Structure 1
Amino acid sequence: MTDAPTLETIRLILRPHRVDDYADCRALWADAGVVRHIGGVPQDGQAVWFRILRYAGMWSLLGHGMWVIEERDSGTFLGEAGLLSAERGIAQLEGVPEAGWVLGPNAWGRGIATEAMQAILSWADVHVASPSIRCIIDPDNQASIKVAEKLGFHALADTLYGGKPTRVFDRPAGHIES
């Protein structure tokens, strides 16, 4: 079994999910603005609970997974970020970890996603054996595309996921952000 390490940045603590994160995670995934570009449908309590359990399972089975993003100074829950395996049926995601980040409105426009993912990708470059890491982003989600590009991801392919246009981005292992 592998436990998620705690990562720290100047402003953030990235830590494993806990049972007591349920209320914050439920509020995050129930927010229509948050999920607008991530499937478009707010999630109910059971789906969020299963999500938290899935996160723990990824760490146990894969040695990587998702972290809670907390503001260092206040302990405020800001969102989630990390690496996952979602078996989405998208050919370009087969065999490589998928990066993902989701933030609550209190974290938007503050560089939180970039800061969190820089720490995660630095960790992954040392601890995850993969030629690259990929992510999928709704082509209309300009904020996430900007984050991905800052992190060294480049557009790899356009495809459909759930019948909706989706862009696959790739970041070679060991990429150094500029």
Structure 2
Amino acid sequence: MKIRIESRRLSMRQLNNSDASFFKALHRNKRVTHLCFDTPTDAEIHQRFLHRLPAWHITASHWLCLTIVEKETGKKVGITGFIIDGNKAEVGYLLTPECHGYGFATESLQALLNWAKLHLSYVAFEATVTDGNTQSERVLSKCGFTQVKRVPDAYMIDGQRYDDVIYAL
């Protein structure tokens, strides 16, 4: 299944080999990851990339990972996607810092959700946000998610414990 999702300003396509350096740069940038996870090693990033690289299909056990490209410039602005577990899909996204504040996260997530609802009508959506990541919480709220749970001290980033905040749609 070749996946291409369009929105007003963005085009999203499945991750491919040409995205390796972009994927690595996103995962190495502390401005991107500081409220998501510890900066992974090059080997961990490579493993994550390889795990998301195979062609995705509805019964896949790996992430559908889409590269987000700004239509006007052709510039890669981030990645988005989900992984299905039973009747639930965990969504996620990472955007380059220079693209924060332009609504790209909201626009790309809404387009992804619209596509998924057409093709995966049985799936509910969830997102886990590290407490303090208010921008991500705003994106999820704009896309219709609501906070359903808080897990105290669930995750450690750079030696500091954070609550996980769970959102559902």
Partner of 2:92: 100
Q: 2:22 aligns with which of 21, 24, 29?
A: 24
Question: What letter is aligned with 2:9?
Answer: R
Q: Which runs of 5+ in 2 are unaligned?
A: none
Partner of 1:176: none
* SS class of match (1:166): strand
* SS class of match (2:26): helix
1:48 positional shift: 1.9
User: Which moved further from structure 2: 109-118 or 93-102?
Assistant: 93-102
- Residues 1:166 and 2:164 are matched in the alignment: yes
Residue-pair matches, total: 161
Question: What letter is aligned with 1:26?
Answer: K
User: Which moved further from structure 2: 149-158 or 94-103?
Assistant: 94-103
- Residues 1:78 and 2:77 are matched in the alignment: yes
Partner of 2:144: 152
* Alpha-carbon distance between aligned partners in 2 of 1:58 and 1:158, rounded to the nearest angstrom: 34
* Alpha-carbon distance between aligned partners in 1 of 2:88 and 2:2, rounded to the nearest angstrom: 19
Aligned structure 1 segments of 4 or more residues deviating by more than 4 angstroms: none
* Alpha-carbon distance between aligned partners in 2 of 1:140 and 1:12, rounded to the nearest angstrom: 27
Q: 2:39 aligns with which of 42, 52, 56?
A: 42
Identity percentage of aligned residues? 24
Larger strand proportion of the pair = 2
Q: Which runs of 5+ in 1 are unaligned?
A: 86-92, 172-178
Q: CA RMSD in A?
A: 2.0
* SS class of match (2:53): helix
**Native 8 Å contact 1:4 1:65 kept in 2:** no
Partner of 1:125: 117
Question: What letter is aligned with 1:49?
Answer: H
Cα distance change, pair 95–57 in 1 and its aligned pair in 2 (3 A): farther
* SS class of match (1:53): helix
What TM-score, normalized to structure 2? 0.86
